[in-house]
């Protein structure tokens, strides 16, 4: 793999390639062992070229945003993690915003506010990037990315780039065709509406206040840990099963919001998995409902 690393450095620059990089530095859980390679392309062309190199070397790879929905094994991952953190270009034209995959949703929401555009207020507090938000059709407070997405440019596994309308991405609750087809989001265009900047700002501040009051923002986490089961709320099912505050190692169910697993005290990835397994078992026994993880895992777990 030394030759592979040399090729990467030659292509991207030494500052864009790290070996044995701890993934706890790149996830909001603040958990995770080392990635064999951690790659930060500066352009979408470099991103596509880095993926091509991984494919040629038959090295497993994954593309991430800011790791806000990711739990990495304590053992790490013996592949390449390619981050979109440098891909933040944007352009605003009328009511449309085009942006690259690595721009944060919080940044996009502020840009919309500055242009008196409404429709992105719900996303202001979601700690993710545009690319990640499209992969899982992120949403909050009754709105989702599918409500504002027009088109997206994706890279297919065979190295071709396509412009796909939102209607063809099969966007539904916390899912899309993107991970199933192993697409990589490069950029997207959102269509908003003209609004009043004062009203937009007030709405954003109100949602931020609600989020602070109801979510355990003082602890590292990956947001909502479980998907919402049809006809139920994961947090209520967990609470009803008597698990509020329940702890396994350094991982715990939040006292403030039972839908969140938090890194309360130097939790390991295995602590989180053990806790989630216990929660799923107890909720199934209590209510008959099978909870499904919303967070994504990377690497080997016991």
The residues assigned a catalytic role are 174, 224, 294
Sign of the alpha-carbon dihedral angle for 127, 82, 26, 172: positive
* Residue 28: partners with Cβ closer than 8 Å, 6 or more residues away: 66, 67, 68, 127, 220, 221, 222, 223
The burial of 197, by beta-carbon neighbours within 10 Å (0-12 exposed, 13-18 middle, 19 or more buried), is given as: middle
CB 179 within 8 A of CB 135: yes
Nearest residue to 189 (alpha-carbon basis) of 154, 147, 155, 148: 148
Alpha-carbon distance 158 to 165, whole Å? 20
Residue 241 burial (CB count, 10 A): 21
């Amino acid at each position: 793999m030394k030759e592979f690393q040399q090729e990467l450095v030659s292509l991207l620059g030494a500052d864009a390639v790290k070996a044995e990089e701890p993934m706890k530095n790149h996830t909001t859980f603040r958990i995770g062992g080392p990635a064999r390679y951690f790659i930060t392309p500066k352009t979408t062309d470099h991103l596509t070229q880095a993926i091509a190199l991984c494919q040629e070397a038959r090295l497993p790879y994954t593309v991430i945003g800011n790791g806000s929905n990711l739990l990495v094994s304590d053992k790490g991952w013996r592949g390449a993690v390619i981050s979109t953190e440098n891909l933040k270009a944007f352009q605003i034209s009328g009511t449309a915003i085009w942006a690259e995959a690595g721009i944060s949703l919080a940044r996009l929401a502020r840009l919309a506010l500055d242009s008196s555009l409404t429709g992105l207020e719900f996303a202001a507090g979601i700690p993710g990037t545009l690319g990640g938000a499209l992969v899982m059709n992120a949403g909050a407070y009754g709105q989702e990315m599918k409500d504002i997405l027009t088109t997206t440019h994706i890279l297919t596994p065979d190295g071709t780039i396509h412009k796909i309308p939102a209607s063809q991405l099969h966007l539904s609750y916390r899912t899309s065709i993107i991970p199933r087809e192993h697409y990589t989001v490069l950029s997207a265009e959102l269509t908003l509406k003209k609004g009043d900047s004062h009203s937009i700002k007030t709405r954003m501040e109100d949602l931020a206040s609600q989020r602070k009051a109801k979510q355990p923002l003082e602890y590292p986490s990956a947001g909502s840990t479980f998907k919402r089961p049809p006809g139920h709320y994961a947090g209520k099912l967990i609470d009803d099963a008597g698990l509020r505050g329940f702890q396994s190692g350094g991982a715990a169910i939040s006292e403030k919001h039972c839908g969140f697993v938090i890194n309360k005290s130097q939790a390991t990835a295995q602590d989180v998995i053990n806790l989630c397994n216990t929660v799923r078992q107890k909720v199934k026994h209590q209510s008959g409902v099978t909870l499904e993880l919303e967070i994504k895992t990377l690497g080997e777990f016991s």
